[in-house]
Amino acid sequence: MSEQQGVLKTGTSTIGITFKGGVVVGADHRATMGHFIANKSVQKLFKIGNNLALTTAGLVGHAQSLSRTLTAEVALFELRRQQSMTVKGAATLTANILSGRPHWVQLLIVGVDADGGHVYSIDSAGGSIPDVYCATGSGSPYMYGVLEDGFKDNMTQAEALKLAARALHASGQRDAASGNGMDLAVITPSSGYVQLSQDEIAKLLK
């Protein structure tokens, strides 16, 4: 993809998968300008609350600004209410921000609450769609091929992690704008947001 108004755009692969007891969320590392790989270690997965995560595809400047805003808003909500924001609440908040001032992004809001694990896809104009799994970015067609073949209801955490790693690996192999490794995290009611180490990810890919 190309550079616009001095802000880097990314060809991207991000993913969210629900399983029995929580969610898995992940993203690749590559940022591109046209056919040029501009950066091999871009952060596209953000913890925005102990029970919530955000993945980003699109303009890096817009994505980073949104991650800071959402992290602050979630923290303020928890401080005032003395309770965690629901995943639907975080998705609605994000959608409202984007509908007021559209951003060049496609987002996933992923997390757990009293009703279980949830994945919401948020488009650049504020549309919000829940699903049991979702993939975004230029690598999403390759990931959906893996997801539709491998996803099943009531997956275990281990199964969901392996599926997410396999889907992100497939996009990195076939999509020129995705790759250079990945970040993966698990969110559960008992442990909250836990990001995997690169060694743990390497074991999943074996």
Residue 205 gets the label, from left (phi > 0), alpha (psi -120 to 50) or beta, of: alpha
HEC readout, 145-185? HHHHHHCCCCCCHHHHHHHHHHHHHHHHHHCCCCCCCEEEE
Asked about 12 being catalytic, the answer comes back as yes
**Residue linked to tokens 């091999």:** 40
Q: Which helix (H) or strand (E) holds 193?
A: strand 192-195
Spatial CB neighbours of 86, under 8 Å, sequence gap ≥ 6: 113, 114, 115
CA-to-CA distance for 130 and 110, rounded, in angstroms?
Answer: 10
- Catalytic entry in 12, 14, 55, 86: 12
| Residues classed as catalytic | 12
